[in-house]
Amino acid sequence: MVPSLLFEIMLIGLLGIGSQWVAWRYRMPAIVIMSITGLLAGPILGLMNPEEDFGELYNPIISVAVAIILFEGSLNLSFKEIRGLGRPVFRISTIGAFLSWILGSLTAHYVAGLSWTAAFVIGGIFIVTGPTVIMPLLRQSKLKPRPAKILKWEGIIVDPVGALLAVFAFEIITFLTANNPDGSSLLIFFAASVFAGILGWACGKGIGLMFEHGYIPEFLKSPAVFIVVIACFTLADEIVHETGLLAVTAMGITLANMGISSIDDMRHFKENVSILLISAIFIMLTASLQTETLLQVFDPAIMGYVLLMMFIVRPLSIFLSTIGTDLALNEKMLLGWIAPRGIVALTVSGYFASILSEAGYADASLITTITFALVFTTVVAHGFSIGSLAKKLHLSKEGRPGTLIVGSNNFTVNLARSLQKVKAPVIIVDSSWERLRKAREAGVPFFHGQMLSEQTEYRLDTIPYEYMIAATEYNSYNALVCTTFMPEYGRTNVFKVSPYRRDLNGMGDIVHKVGGRILFRQDLSLEDLNQKTREHYIFRQTTITNRYTYKQYLEEKDEDTVLLYAMKPSGRMRFYSEELRVSPEPGDTVVSLTPPVKEKKKIQQRLENQRNNNGKSS
């Protein structure tokens, strides 16, 4: 066991974020790594048991964390995003959820051997997928926008519905099986659910209006939202347990659709907090499991139940609920397979296990075991299969990492053509149709629109692109684009090119610190690069080998050569920058902007060698 509670809190954070890093480094599902790490730290090695160590604080901590995670997910649910997806999302979230509940409950009773009460309670819980498991999988798999948005919306909409459905099932069955049925408990439940929805809407609307009218300063906006989320969840949850999830979901959706600009700024902060909470909570939940629970997972009845839920219940509910929609067969197949369960299922099932146990149900202890079995199996199976399945069904944008270039000019068009030659996805975005003429004539993919516009956010598919280059003639705009998209692309993948060697407004030092790394060299401006392309500089590819090393290449290159990027055989790229160290290895290709004089000399040397060889052969 760990020496102190403080040490345990440190260890939970370290294991959680460490698992996220390992998953990122080796391109594996983060939830799988976190689950394995939690099991090793808890029941297997016995280093900690958070449920026992935290005592009465354990359940409130989990509940508040789940509420914040769910709010952060619902904050992404702008109704503009589901234009054209309304019918499939509505069908899956209503008819599909109902079918999944009924079929899952019947399976739990007849296969897993649960009583009707426990079966219908667990059936309601298992319609939940949730943002904590869906979002990481979507980031990992690079699905096409349509199936990705459907899975995201289903996960967040159904998340509170599953918890409420479990409460509803418990209240109904308790009412029907009672010796003296009292309908007041049902009325209280329905009234509390309506109150939770109204409370969430009121909290979202209220704090949104305060933001719009400037009643809350910028530095207090994120803390204020946090406190309101916790208050909204707590007030609803104190009236009827689990209605708090409905309240925070309603609050998040209300804020997301008010069109408040500052919400976008907070969204990145909340995503960071959400990742931290997901990491910590998953470690805490899995580390708190008992060894007996793990051994029960291998019971044939439980394993049979898990397999039927994955291969029969989920696909059947999706196919039946989407009859008459415009979903293609390959989309239905993907949606019918992907349904990982996560934190909400674990936390809610733990609550109902204790409630059913207090009510005298002998099979209540099996609920936690079945939940963990389904959560872990679906997370592993779906996490490792979503990428390959999406490729086979032609629903994946997976491929070589692409580059999104903001600004159309001579240099960026030629840079895009060089990326096309190495088969890397590329697109140029510009608000001027005239400037895009160069891209159109060169056959380079382009998008006509303002990069920072809300319309561009919904119309431009950015999934294939991992790198962004801001190379317009406005230095401040380049910095603003980099600052805006740095949280999405990562600090090492966002670059800017200075339009001029010296900022005409004297703002160079300030803009330099705003955002984005300087592409290539600090003394090399967009004006210089455009001039080089007009002077017919060559975009040259050089392969580094064991014989022709990178060191030798650097020694022999012309001093006017501009190193652009290095590409590995796998397609991974590294753009040159003074702030990043690029060290190509044998097999890598270095792309550079080479003076035409040196290129002519190389061509002449090559022709001379050919003539000499021909002379010898004759």
We report the CATH number of the domain holding residue 463 as 3.40.50.720
| Range with the poorest average pLDDT among 106-120, 258-272, 449-463, 464-478 | 258-272
Together in a domain, 248 and 370: yes
Whether the CA torsion 192, 285, 317, 337 is positive or negative: it is positive
| Same domain for 410 and 326 | no
Cβ pair 395, 147 in contact under 8 A: yes
Which residues share a beta bridge with 465?
Answer: 402
Let me know if residue 618 belongs to a domain: no
* Residue of 469, 482, 478, 468 whose CA lies nearest to 498: 478
The verdict on 187 and 318 lying in the same domain is: yes
Same domain, 100 and 215: yes
Tokens of 545: 């080998």
- Domain end, chosen from 374, 392, 410, is at 392
Q: Assess if residue 582 is contained within a domain.
A: yes
Q: Is pLDDT of 315 > 90? A: yes
Q: Do 366 and 296 fall into the same domain?
A: yes
Judge whether residue 37 has pLDDT over 70: yes
Report the mean per-residue pLDDT for the chain.
Answer: 80
Burial string for 514-532 (b: 16+ CB within 10 Å, else e) reads bbbbbbbeeebbbbbbbeb
Q: pLDDT at residue 501 above 70?
A: no
Structural domain boundaries, residue 494:
402-613
Greatest CA span in the chain, whole angstroms? Answer: 110
| DSSP H helical ranges for 75-144 | 86-91, 97-110, 116-125, 131-141
Write the CATH number for 343. 1.20.1530.20
Q: Which of 392, 424, 449 is the last residue of a domain?
A: 392
pLDDT-derived band of residue 507, with 50, 70 and 90 as boundaries? very low
- Taking residues 438-457, report their average pLDDT: 81
Per-residue model confidence (pLDDT) at position 320: 92
Q: What is the pairing mode between strands 494-496 and 517-518? A: parallel
Cβ pair 395, 139 in contact under 8 A: no
Q: How far apart are the first and last CA of the chain?
A: 83
Looking at the fold, whether 439 and 365 belong to one and the same domain comes out as no
β pairing state of 465-470 and 562-567 = unpaired
pLDDT given for residue 432 in this prediction: 85
**Helix, coil or strand: residue 462:** coil
Same domain, 381 and 451: no
Indicate if the pLDDT at residue 271 is higher than 70. Answer: no
- Eight-class DSSP state of 401: P
562-567/494-496 β-pairing: unpaired
Task: State the DSSP H helix or E strand holding residue 454, giving kind and residue range, or none if neither.
Answer: helix 454-459
pLDDT at 509 (0 to 100): 47
User: Do residue 163 and residue 310 come from a single domain?
Assistant: yes
Same domain, 359 and 492: no
Q: Name the domain count of the chain.
A: 2
Q: Which residue reads 């431009």 in tokens?
A: 460
Reduce the DSSP state of residue 386 to 3 states and report it: helix
Place of tokens 């796998």: 570
Q: Is residue 33 part of a domain?
A: no
Measured distance CA(187)–CA(167) in Å, rounded? 13
Q: Distance between alpha carbon 261 and the CA centroid of its chain, in Å?
A: 21
DSSP 8-state class, residue 177: H
Distance CA 38, CA 284 (A): 7
Give every CB contact of residue 98 below 8 A, 6+ residues apart in sequence. Answer: none
Query: What pLDDT digit, counting tens, does each position of 376-427 carry?
Result: 888 888 878 888 888 888 887 666 788 899 988 888 898 898 888 888 888 9
Q: Based on the domain organization, do 98 and 63 belong to the same domain?
A: yes
Same domain for 77 and 160? yes
Express each pLDDT in 580-595 by its tens digit: 777 888 888 888 888 8
Q: How far apart are CA 143 and CA 265, in angstroms?
A: 25
Query: Does 259 reside within a domain?
Result: yes
Rounded Cα distance, 296 and 114, in Å:
14
Query: Residues 86, 201: one domain?
Result: yes
Map tokens 């964390």 to a residue.
Answer: 65
Pick the range with the lowest mean pLDDT from 106-115, 200-209, 309-318, 501-510: 501-510
